[in-house]
Amino acid sequence: MKKLGWKIWLLIVFLIFSLLAIFGFPPTFMQKGVLITSVETDSVAFEQGLNQGQIIISIDGNVMENLEAYSNYILEKFPVEEETKIIIQTKDGEYVLFSDKIPKITVSEIPKTNIKMGLDLAGGARALVQAQDKELTSDEVNDLAEVIETRLNVYGIADVDVMPISDLSGEHYVRIEIAGATPTDLEKLISEQGKFEAKIGNETVFVGGQENGVASVARSGQQSGVESCQESSDGGYYCNFRFAVYLKPEAAQNHADITGALGLDSENPGYLSEKLDLYVDDTLVDSLFISEGLKGRVATQISISGSGVGEDQDIAYANALENMKSLQTILITGSLPFKLEIVKLDIISPVLGNDFIKSILIAAFASLIAVALIIFVRYKNFKSSIALLITSISEIIIILGIASFIDWNLDLPSIAGILVTLGTGLDDLIIMLDESKQGTSISLKQRLKRAFTIILGAYFTTLVALFPLLWAGAGLLKGFAITTIIGISIGVFVTRPAFSEMIRKIGE
């Protein structure tokens, strides 16, 4: 048996890691249970700690094999509206609920792989929006995206993706994708400017977007940042953050009038008895302690503080930074700062997505078999045909593995990129195979090097041509560009070298 070279071993290593990234360990298709896709924020389930992304293993000791088992058990559990105890076991722990209604959670089957499907394949609605009659800067469009995401999170919407993007002409947009939503739902959510309120008890201190609200929020420099990190008693870490908020005179006066009548909190010395509650569209999103030093003071500058926790200091620091950023976004404006106009609005059916995937798989498999047969007829070499099939299939697996590892959503442009990679890959493999069969005085190794030089030149040309597609069409072709770049790079640095070694060993 011929010894395998390092190029083939490199391909094997990439294949192993790609399969682990796609299926996980243990494999996801072997897991039992149902996946929680959303939990309504006003429900008992949410109050008890159930969250999107958790896997329900059993209910009241009964294993939930699949979605059908879950649905049947829940319907039998709640035949009438009377308070019922229900014990939900997830991978994270056990949750006990007392309710007279079916838990307000949405579940689905556990995905068989870690490959994430984009909106084009999973179904849902997509909108491309921009500010009406106003050109936004990159900072403004980032703030707009954060505000939109905050509002959508308030509604408890699952599988939402909000991303600021720009096109080649410099126009800025926000792309919003929501799985399972209709265009009407999405249009209603983003067309309304919403409402942000800050209250102490039942009294309103200020309303976002009005003249008597927030003047500005410090987001950098000495007046904003994570100040300290310490180890907690339970072995974890927590980091404290602080930033300054500048109120307009009327808001500052309201704050002084309301806090002047408050006492001190007996459980938290140094703070007032009521908190500053922040509401977005009448939903409480955060509550902040008020320092006793602000009692009755007309202060146009107040300091907001909070913390983030984690298993280690780095995670705690990152969580504190994220919490601070979220609070700053809410305080800048809980309502949309600009009137929006929808540039493009699409809906995609998940049924069409499934049919498309099946058609693509069939077409790709048929193409590979056809090319392998042509190679066999042309060169009368069965081993060369098998080597070509192994290399092409390996390339697809590695692309999907990398996409799973980086949590990239595969949409229609991404699938198109994989097909382009498959086509160009087959061209390159045929060039290498044809060069290896040339009856010249040059050695097989030299002929393969010559073929690889041609392939390398084509690779850099294609790479340069693909970079503008990352921004073309307001970023809608980004998936095509990224998967194609990943595919041709894997081909040039992993699969083509491995194929050349296979052909050399076959020739020898």
β-strands 116-117, 409-410: how paired? parallel
pLDDT at residue 139 above 80?
A: no
Cα–Cα distance for residue pair 363/266, rounded to 1 Å: 71
Report the pLDDT averaged over residues 106-130. 75
Q: pLDDT-derived band of residue 252, with 50, 70 and 90 as boundaries? A: confident
Tell me 308's DSSP state: E
Contacts of 236 (CB under 8 A, 6+ apart): 309, 310, 311, 312, 316
Look at residue 181 in the predicted model and tell me its pLDDT. 55
Domain range summary for the chain, segments of one domain joined by +: 6-25+351-507, 32-109, 124-193+339-347, 198-317
The CB density around residue 426, as the number of other CB atoms within 10 Å, is 19
Cα–Cα distance for residue pair 503/501, rounded to 1 Å: 5
Mean pLDDT, all residues of the chain: 77
Cα–Cα distance for residue pair 207/392, rounded to 1 Å: 59
Q: Which of the residue ranges 166-175, 288-297, 315-324, 353-362 would you say has the lowest mean pLDDT?
A: 353-362
Q: pLDDT-derived band of residue 183, with 50, 70 and 90 as boundaries? A: low
Cα–Cα distance for residue pair 508/504, rounded to 1 Å: 6
Backbone angles phi, psi at 228, to 5 degrees: -155, 155
Q: pLDDT-derived band of residue 1, with 50, 70 and 90 as boundaries? A: very low
Of the chain, the percentage scoring pLDDT greater than 70 comes to 81
According to DSSP, the residues that pair with 200 across neighbouring strands are 203, 276
Tell me 365's DSSP state: H
CATH number of 32-109: 2.30.42.10
Contacts of 10 (CB under 8 A, 6+ apart): 494, 497, 498
The CATH topology of domain 6-25+351-507 is Multidrug efflux transporter AcrB transmembrane fold (1.20.1640)
| Three-state SS at 46 | helix
CA atoms within 13 A on the CB side of 187: 10
The CATH topology of domain 124-193+339-347 is Alpha-Beta Plaits (3.30.70)
The 10s digit of each residue's pLDDT in 418-448 is 888 888 887 787 877 777 776 666 776 777 7
* DSSP secondary structure, 191-229, as one string: HS---EEEEETTEEEEETTSTTSEEEE--SGGGEEEEEE
Q: Which of the residue ranges 100-104, 356-360, 410-414 would you say has the lowest mean pLDDT?
A: 356-360
Helix, strand and coil in the chain, % to nearest 5: 50, 25, 25
Q: Which of the residue ranges 70-74, 211-215, 427-431, 475-479 would you say has the lowest mean pLDDT?
A: 211-215
Q: pLDDT-derived band of residue 337, with 50, 70 and 90 as boundaries? A: low
Cα–Cα distance for residue pair 141/506, rounded to 1 Å: 57
Q: pLDDT-derived band of residue 193, with 50, 70 and 90 as boundaries? A: low
